[in-house]
Amino acid sequence: MHFDHGVVPKAYVGYVRKKYWLLFALFSLVTGLFLISLCKGAVQLPLLDVLQTLMLEAPSRKADLIVWHIRLPQTVIAILGGAGLAVSGAVMQSVLKNPLASPFTLGISHAAAFGAALSVIIMGAGVMASSSGDAVTISSPVITVATAFSFSIITALIIIFIAGKKEASPHVMVLTGVALGSLFTAGTMLLQFFADDVQLAAMVFWTFGDLARADWNDIALVAPVVLVLLGFFLVKSRDYNGMALGDESAKGIGIRVEWVRLSGMLAASLMTSLIISFVGIISFVGLAAPHIVRRIIGDDHRFLLPASILAGALILLAADMVARLIMLPHVLPVSIFTAFLGAPVFIYLIIKGNPR
C-alpha cells in the first residue's frame, strides 16, 4: 500500500489497531480456557495448584500426575489440532475460492482417516496399548502419516482438478467431496469389518475423534510440523489476498497462482493428515472457525489466518472440555460437539447461497 508523502492515514492505523486488539482478545480467551481446561475434570484442581505445577513446584504428586501426564498433553494437542484444522480450512476456502471448503467437507479428512486405519489394521503400524478398546498406539507414525497423507493428496488433487473447471461451482466441489468422503468411509468400514473385536472398538472410537489418548511422544511429532506449516501459511497470507482478486488479476501482480493453489492444498492436506493420524476425525472445525472470525475480523488474510488459528484452538479446547465434563467420569468423543457447532454453520452457508 502506498501513502502520500510517507504518511500513514489515521483511518488505516485505526483499522490495523482494531485487528490487533481482536487478535489479542482471541489470544486471551485461548489462554484463559487453557488454564480452565487444566483445572477441570473428574478431579478438580485449584488454579493456584495448576500454576504451581506448571512452574515445576507441584503441591502434590497427584497434581503433578494429573497436569503433566493427563490434562496438559490433551490440552496442547487440542490447541495444535484446532489451530491446524482451522487454518487449513481458511486456506482451502481461499485457494479454491469456495466458502464451503474445509478438510471435512471436501472429504480430505475421511481420506486421511482411511489411510491411517489402513496402516494401523493392515500394515501393522499400530499396536493396542490395552484391551479396553479405547487405545490404539501408533507404533510407526511415519508409516501412518505417510499413508494418510497419500490418500488425502489423491483427494486434494481431484478437488483441485474439479476447481480448475470453469463450470465448477462451490456446491459441485462440495458434492465431489461428499462423494469421495463416502467412498473412503466405506473403505474404513470394510477394514473395521475384518478387524478383531479390540481393534474394531478402538478404531470406531478413533473415528469419532479422541484427544484423551495424546501423550508427549505424539506432541513431539505433531508440534514441529504443525508450527512450520502455520508459519508457511502466515508467510503466504499476502498471496492469498491477491488471489481473492481473481486468477488473472493475481497473475498481473506477480503471484504464481497455480503454485500458490497447489502448495496451499498440499500443505493443508499434510496438516490434516498429521492431525487425524493421531486424534481421529475432528469435524467442521476447519469450516466453522474461519467463517466465525471472518465476520468479526474481515477477509484480509494477514489477520484472518492468525484469527482462524486462535479460533480453531478455542473451539477445540471448548469442545474437549465439554466432552470431559458433561458425563463425568466418562469422556465423550470430541467430534460430537464440534459437529453440533459446525453443522448449523454449514447449513447456513448453503441456504445463504453466496457466502463471502
Q: What is the pLDDT of residue 11?
A: 75
Cis-peptide, bond into residue 329, ω within 30° of zero: yes
- Give the helix/strand (H/E) hosting 138: strand 136-138
Residue pointed to by grid coordinates 482462524? 308
Does the predicted TM-score (pTM) go above 0.85? yes
Q: What is the pLDDT of residue 355?
A: 43
β 126-128/136-138 pair status: antiparallel
**Residue 41 — left, alpha, or beta (φ > 0 → left; ψ -120 to 50 → alpha)?**
left
SS3 328: coil
Q: What is the pLDDT of residue 223?
A: 95
Domain boundaries, the chain: 10-352
- Residues 127-161 pLDDT 10s: 545 444 445 555 566 777 788 888 888 888 888 88
Compute how many other C-beta atoms are within 10 angstroms of the C-beta atom of residue 128: 17
Question: Considering only CA atoms, which of 355, 234, 242, 351 is closest in space to residue 302?
Answer: 234
For the chain, list residues with pLDDT below 70.
Answer: 1-8, 123-141, 165-170, 198-199, 201-202, 205-206, 352-356
CATH superfamily of 10-352: ABC transporter involved in vitamin B12 uptake, BtuC (1.10.3470.10)
- Spatial separation of the C-alpha atoms in residues 253 and 241, rounded to whole Å: 11
